[in-house]
Amino acid sequence: MPFALLKYGLKREYPAERHFPPQPELKSTYDVVIIGGGGHGLAAAYYLAKDYGITDVAVLDKGYLGGGNTARNTAIIRANYLTPEGVRFYAESIALFKELSQELDFNVLYSERGHLTLAHTDAAVRTSRWRAEVNKHLGVDSELIFPDQIRKLVPSLNLSEDVRYPILGALYHPPGAIARHDAVAWGYAAAAARRGVELHQKVEVTGVLRANGRALGVETTRGTVHCGRILQAVSGSSSLVAAMAGFRLPIHTVPLQACVSQPLKPFLDPIVVSGSLHTYISQSARGELVMGGETDPYGVYADRSTLEFKEGLIAHMLELFPFLAEIKVLRQWAGMVDMTPDFSPVMGKTPVENYYIDAGWGTWGFKATPVSGKRMAETIATGRVPELIERFRLGRFYEFKQIGERGAASVGH
């Protein structure tokens, strides 16, 4: 047994430093209230404090910090999107992720692996080429590669032509990475708290106070809180919370399931995605295979796991990696994803003055954590929406100016 463990075990008090200060009493007034203590809400709180000196901020979460979709995603980071808006946005996120452990003084286990989107049809090869061209044009490293190059990157992949969906090529994106998702939330939370932000767990928002089209505060399970500005960052319940604020979002919410295997010796460096087989896989630092597939085909607010999903996923996974047949699945879970009609998020102002929104992340919210936090903080602090996120405004749905990102989705919807 390690000596330190024995020493701590026998002490009356736990001597290690706490990451977060004890939760204070909820005040009746703040400058900014953030609804949602997931990665996005915590990142916005951190950048409000760090970049703008706004520290009279309360982050409210109905559960625990980082316990919603932040804890339920599969931690993939990439910028190989299809639209210029998506590519630029995620390129900034990657730049922030690379420095995040230093920035927060907290190891988020950022690990650059490369990302492969397999193309099994001529149409998928065309889309890969298109994405590669858009990416390169905007300075993001992506290229179309063919089976000989794929074999070098993933020797264990079944590249046989004698299968249901032979692999014709792939979009290769060297900056693709993974990070430890809960460390990202904890790192932002701890760094925000060090700057004076208050973190309130188990405080549920039950209503939004409004008058003359302005947000004035929130009703919570711990009482009424007045504030100057509100940010809603509640992935999985976005439509429900927006309804409390009095406006509708073009979002439907569906479960997205995933699972991990028992740990294996490292054999898979890149992240591998197959659109035709509706599956993706990466190997974590612990050796577990992190695997997922398409969203469930019905709208339901239930983060349960199903056998049907596991059976379908594993059948597809074995077409790519037949030697995994004897491997055991250790854990399975689901998150709730808020899908917009164009597969792009909604960020910025809302019809309610002083009420800001960060929603509609579908299946790619984790990888946006630093950039959405930074740019939403800028929007709230200055009252101006930065150019990088302006096109993601809610109003695009009324103006018929959608940002179609379906072609860059890793999983089927």
User: Hey, which residues between 383 and 412 contact ligand PYC (CB under 6 A)?
Assistant: 410-411
Between 217 and 365, name the residue whose CB sits nearer to ligand PYC: 365
Q: Does 292 bind ligand PYC (CB under 6 A)?
A: yes
- Beta-sheet pairing, 279-283 with 355-359: unpaired
CB 113 within 8 A of CB 269: yes
- In the complex, the smallest distance separating the C-beta of residue 89 from ligand PYC, rounded to whole angstroms, is 13
Distance, C-alpha 342 to centroid of its chain: 17
CA dist 359 and 191 (Å) reads 23
CA dist 104 and 378 (Å) reads 19
Among 47, 97, 172, 280, contact with ligand PYC (rule: CB under 6 A):
280
Stretch that binds ligand PYC, among 30-38, 72-80, 204-212, 397-405 (CB under 6 A): 72-80
Q: What is the phi-psi region of residue 311: left when phi exceeds 0, alpha when psi lies from -120 to 50, beta otherwise?
A: alpha
Task: Give the amino acid at 337.
Answer: V
Between 309 and 364, name the residue whose CB sits nearer to ligand PYC: 364
Stretch that binds ligand PYC, among 28-36, 74-82, 163-171, 301-309 (CB under 6 A): 74-82
Q: Does 364 bind ligand PYC (CB under 6 A)?
A: yes
Of the candidates 62, 46, 63, the one whose C-alpha atom is nearest the C-alpha of residue 106 is 46
Q: Does 360 bind ligand PYC (CB under 6 A)?
A: no
User: Hey, which residues between 78 and 97 contact ligand PYC (CB under 6 A)?
Assistant: 78
CA dist 362 and 337 (Å) reads 5
Q: Does 76 bind ligand PYC (CB under 6 A)?
A: yes
Using CA of residue 135, residue 123, residue 279, residue 156, what is the dihedral sign? Answer: negative
Among 363, 369, 372, 379, contact with ligand PYC (rule: CB under 6 A):
363
- In the complex, the smallest distance separating the C-beta of residue 216 from ligand PYC, rounded to whole angstroms, is 37
Locus of tokens 């003084």: 105
Binding site for ligand PYC (CB under 6 A): 74, 76, 78, 280, 292, 363-364, 410-411
